[in-house]
């Protein structure tokens, strides 16, 4: 594929990516091929430095735009379209792994004061002030939360109430 990558190809790919909220299909080795193209430009000393800088910038901006879209796919638990580059697949899997590791397990979480909370309503997964996500949980479910600030947040927003033991 390296032979097919040109400055015009990179520019068109970036423009198409900017024009849609969907993640467009790219070859699995898109970024490695783009980097080979840029490295090849650098080897040619007669090559215009401006083309090298713009090509590098296009690839960077292309990836940044696609990262935003990949984050949306991860946030909504959607599968990525195929084919997609290996680099983007790694990024997506890393985000999913991070999201799973930051999820609270109510059966194992404890507040700093040791108090229990009771869910006042059915709630989908939500983000807490500590940056952790919790849920989903059902109305009247008993939960314990690690962080006292998270506990206060849940009480202040009428999501949970304290339970005396």
Q: What is the pLDDT of residues 106-119, one digit of tens each?
A: 554 443 443 578 88
Delimit the domains of the chain by residue range.
2-101, 116-163
**CATH code for residues 2-101:** 1.20.58.1030
Q: What is the pLDDT of residues 77-93, one digit of tens each?
A: 888 888 888 889 899 98
Q: What is the pLDDT of residues 51-64, one digit of tens each?
A: 889 999 999 999 99
Percent of the chain with pLDDT over 70: 87
pTM: 0.58
**CATH code for residues 116-163:** 3.40.5
For 34-73, b where at least 16 C-beta lie within 10 A, e where not — what string?
bbebbeebeeeeeeeeeebeebbebbeebbeebeebbeeb
Long-range CB contacts (within 8 A, 24+) of 10-14: 10/34, 10/37, 10/55, 10/58, 10/59, 10/62, 11/58, 13/62, 14/58, 14/61, 14/62, 14/65
Are the beta carbons of 13 and 26 closer than 8 angstroms?
A: yes
Q: What mean pLDDT, rounded, does the chain reach?
A: 83
H-only helix segments in 76-120: 86-101
């Amino acid at each position: 594929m390296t032979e097919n990558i040109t400055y015009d190809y990179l520019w068109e790919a970036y423009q198409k990516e900017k024009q849609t909220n969907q993640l467009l299909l790219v070859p699995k080795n898109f970024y490695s091929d783009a980097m080979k193209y840029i490295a090849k430009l650098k080897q040619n000393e007669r090559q215009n430095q401006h083309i090298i800088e713009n090509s590098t910038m296009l690839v960077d901006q292309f990836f940044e735009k696609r990262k935003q879209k990949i984050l949306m796919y991860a946030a909504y638990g959607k599968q990525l379209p195929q084919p997609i580059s290996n680099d983007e697949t790694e990024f997506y899997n890393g985000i999913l792994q991070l999201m799973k590791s930051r999820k609270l397990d109510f059966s194992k979480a404890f507040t700093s004061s040791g108090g229990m909370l009771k869910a006042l309503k059915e709630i989908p997964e939500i983000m807490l002030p500590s940056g952790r996500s919790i849920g989903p949980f059902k109305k009247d479910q008993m939960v314990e939360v690690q962080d006292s600030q998270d506990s206060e947040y849940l009480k202040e927003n009428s999501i949970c109430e304290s339970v005396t033991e």
